[in-house]
Amino acid sequence: MKLVIFSAKPYDKLYLGGVLKSRSDITSVELVFHEFSLSQDTVSLAHDADAICVFVNDTLDTPVIEALHSAGVRAILLRCAGFNNVDLKTAEKLGIFVANVPSYSPEAVAEFAVALIQTLNRKTHHAFNRVRERNFSLDGLLGRTLHGKTIGVIGTGKIGLAFARIMKGFGCRLLAFDPYPTDAFKPYGEYADLDTLLPQCDFVSLHCPLMESTRHIINEKSLAKMKQGAMLVNTSRGGLIDTKTVIAALKSRHLGGLALDVYDGEGALFYNDHSGDIIQDDELMRLTTFPNVLICGHQAFFTEEALTEIANCTLQNLEDFRRKVPCKNSLVREGHLLVKRESLPVRTV
Ligand X SMILES: NC(=O)c1ccc[n+]([C@@H]2O[C@H](COP(=O)([O-])OP(=O)(O)OC[C@H]3O[C@@H](n4cnc5c(N)ncnc54)[C@H](O)[C@@H]3O)[C@@H](O)[C@H]2O)c1
User: Is residue 301 within the footprint of ligand X (CB under 6 A)?
Assistant: yes
Burial of 145 (0-12, 13-18, 19+ CB in 10 A): exposed
Q: How far apart are CA 39 and CA 124, in angstroms?
A: 39
Q: Could you tell me the CA-to-CA distances from 227 to 64, 164, 202, 224, 323 in Å, in that order?
A: 43, 20, 7, 8, 53
Shortest Cβ 345–ligand X spacing (Å) = 8
| DSSP state at residue 104 | S
Distance CA 83, CA 211 (A): 10
Q: Kindly state the smallest distance separating residue 341's Cβ from ligand X, in Å.
A: 6
H or E element at residue 292: none
- Spatial distance between the Cα atoms of 142 and 60, rounded to a whole number of angstroms: 45
Quick check: 227 binds ligand X (CB under 6 A)? no
- Closer to ligand X by CB, 216 or 298: give it: 298
In one letter, which amino acid is 240?
A: L
User: Does residue 11 belong to the site contacting ligand X (CB under 6 A)?
Assistant: no
Q: Judged by CB, which is closer to ligand X: 49, or 117? A: 117
Which among 237, 236, 238, 258 is positioned nearest to 247, based on CA atoms? Answer: 258
Amino acid at 334: E
| Residue 105 binds ligand X, judged by CB under 6 A | no
Task: Name the residue number minimizing CB distance to ligand X.
Answer: 157
- Amino acid identity, position 5: I
Contact in structure between 211 and 161 (CB atoms under 8 Å): no
Catalytic residues: 237, 266
Q: Among residue numbers 233 through 272, which ones bind ligand X (CB under 6 A)?
A: 235-237, 261-262
**By CB under 6 A, is residue 213 in contact with ligand X?**
yes
CB of 322 to ligand X, least distance (A): 26
The smaller minimum CB distance to ligand X, of residues 46 and 109, is found at: 109
- To ligand X, the closest distance from the beta carbon of 142 in angstroms equals 28
Residues in 65-84 at the binding interface with ligand X, rule: CB under 6 A = 81-82
Cβ of residue 66: shortest distance to ligand X, in angstroms? 25
CA 221 to chain centre: 24
106 binds ligand X (CB under 6 A): yes
**One-letter amino acid of 231:** M
Asked if residue 86 binds ligand X (CB under 6 A), the reply is no
Give the footprint of ligand X on residues 141-200 (CB under 6 A): 154-160, 177-180
Exposed / middle / buried, residue 289 (Cβ in 10 Å: 0-12, 13-18, 19+): exposed
Pick between residue 149 and residue 298 the one whose CB is nearest to ligand X: 298
Q: Tell me how far the alpha carbon of residue 253 is from its chain's centroid.
A: 27
209 binds ligand X (CB under 6 A): yes
Contacts with ligand X by CB under 6 A: the residue count is: 31
Q: Does position 329 bind ligand X by CB under 6 A?
A: no
Q: Which is nearer to ligand X, 242 or 261 (CB)?
A: 261
149/207 with CB nearer ligand X: 207
Q: Where along the sequence are the contacts to ligand X (CB under 6 A)?
A: 81-82, 103, 106, 109, 154-160, 177-180, 207-210, 213-214, 235-237, 261-262, 298, 300-301, 341
